[in-house]
């Protein structure tokens, strides 16, 4: 019995760590090292139902989406779309503008090749894609193969393989899932970032966005869904965020504002002190 309990205790966190999800849908810092909740302006659909904002980064309450071969049973999004109930004052919806670079964050959940802590360069990364849903559609598409999902950006994949130069695994930024520079400090809960650009020809208005991650071809895709109001201009986006008490600062890049010497930040600066409502 004791052994059984011990196995359970070890097994459960391992299960919980087997997946990933988008935590923030409008993060202010690209390629950053550490999660800072104050830099997050907007949250995915139903974030409040999973404690994504107020729980520790890399943790959540309840199950988050992994698809399987039964789209009629496993929906594309964890919760059905309902813009009135799936966003709250403390977990608001994103606002973007055409041409904007958007930064997303996700927990590493152990799936990073970085030889400083893992003697394995062969941690697979298979597909990272951002889709949008035709805005005429009030309903979520049935499934990940739906023609209603339009590719906004293919985020590439992280380099991996049994024979790659180990230096590649410790070189950041990286494309794909494994852009997690502080992975070795916390293999489960360290922060990864992605960036994608809102296409100039996207129709302004409210859109649903979908992140799809295939880690290994043997594992079904993981998805996160969120809504965002897309504005034609930054001025309109700024007016929107001002009306909700959010900062209107633009995304910055960690490596552009920090000088790194021997892996340490020299002269750290914070370009803004973001004032976020709530």
Ligand X SMILES: *[C@@H]1O[C@H](CO)[C@@H](O)[C@H](O)[C@H]1NC(C)=O
Shortest separation between residue 256's beta carbon and ligand X, angstroms: 8
Member of 156, 199, 204, 274 binding ligand X (CB under 6 A): 156
**199 counts as binding ligand X under rule CB under 6 A:** no
Member of 69, 119, 243, 262 binding ligand X (CB under 6 A): 119
Reduce the secondary structure of the chain to three states and give it as a string: CHHHHHHHHHHHHHHHCCCCCCCECCECEECCCCCCHHHECCCCCCHHHHCCCCCCCCCCCCCCCECCCCCCCCCCCCCCCCCCCCCCCCCCCEEEECCCEEEEEEECCCCCCCCCCCCCCCCCCCEEEEEEECCCCCCCCCCCCCCCEEEEEECCCCCCCCCCCHHHHCCCCCCCCCCCCCHHHCCCCCEEEEEEECCCCCCCEEEEEEEEEECCCCCCCEEEEEEEEEECCHHHHHHHHHHCCCCCCCCEEHHHHCEEECCEEECCCCCCCCCCCC
**Residue (48 or 174) nearer to ligand X, CB:** 174
**121 counts as binding ligand X under rule CB under 6 A:** no
Shortest separation between residue 78's beta carbon and ligand X, angstroms: 24
**Residue (30 or 190) nearer to ligand X, CB:** 30
Member of 31, 100, 208, 224 binding ligand X (CB under 6 A): 31
By CB under 6 A, the count of residues binding ligand X is: 9
**Residue (166 or 205) nearer to ligand X, CB:** 166
Tokens of 60: 């959540």
**100 counts as binding ligand X under rule CB under 6 A:** no
**195 counts as binding ligand X under rule CB under 6 A:** yes
**155 counts as binding ligand X under rule CB under 6 A:** yes
Near ligand X in 240-269, by CB under 6 A: 253
Shortest separation between residue 64's beta carbon and ligand X, angstroms: 22
Near ligand X in 135-154, by CB under 6 A: none
The binding site for ligand X (CB under 6 A) comprises 30-31, 119, 155-156, 173, 175, 195, 253
């Amino acid at each position: 019995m004791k052994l059984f309990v011990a196995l359970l205790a070890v097994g459960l966190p391992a299960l919980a760590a087997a997946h990933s999800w988008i935590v923030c849908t409008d993060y202010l810092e690209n390629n950053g090292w550490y999660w800072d909740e104050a830099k997050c302006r907007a949250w995915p659909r139903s974030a409040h139902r999973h404690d994504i904002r107020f729980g520790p980064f890399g943790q959540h309450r309840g199950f988050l989406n992994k698809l399987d071969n039964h789209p009629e049973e496993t929906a594309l999004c964890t919760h059905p779309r309902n813009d009135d109930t799936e966003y709250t004052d403390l977990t608001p919806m994103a606002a973007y503008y055409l041409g904007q670079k958007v930064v997303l964050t996700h927990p590493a959940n152990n799936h990073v090749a970085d030889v400083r802590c893992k003697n394995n360069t062969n941690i697979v990364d298979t597909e990272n894609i951002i889709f949008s849903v035709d805005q005429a559609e009030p309903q979520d598409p049935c499934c990940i193969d739906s023609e209603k999902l339009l590719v906004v950006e293919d985020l590439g994949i992280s380099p991996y393989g049994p024979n790659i130069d180990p230096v590649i695994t410790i070189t950041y930024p990286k494309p794909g899932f494994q852009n997690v520079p502080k992975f070795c400090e916390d293999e489960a809960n360290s922060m990864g970032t992605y960036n994608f650009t809102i296409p100039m020809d996207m129709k302004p208005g409210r859109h649903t966005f979908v992140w799809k991650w295939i880690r290994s071809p043997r594992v079904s895709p993981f998805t996160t869904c969120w809504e965002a109001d897309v504005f034609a201009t930054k001025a309109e986006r700024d007016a929107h965020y001002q009306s909700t008490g959010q900062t209107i600062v633009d995304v910055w890049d960690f490596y552009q504002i920090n000088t790194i010497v021997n892996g340490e930040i020299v002269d750290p600066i914070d370009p803004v002190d973001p004032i976020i409502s709530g």
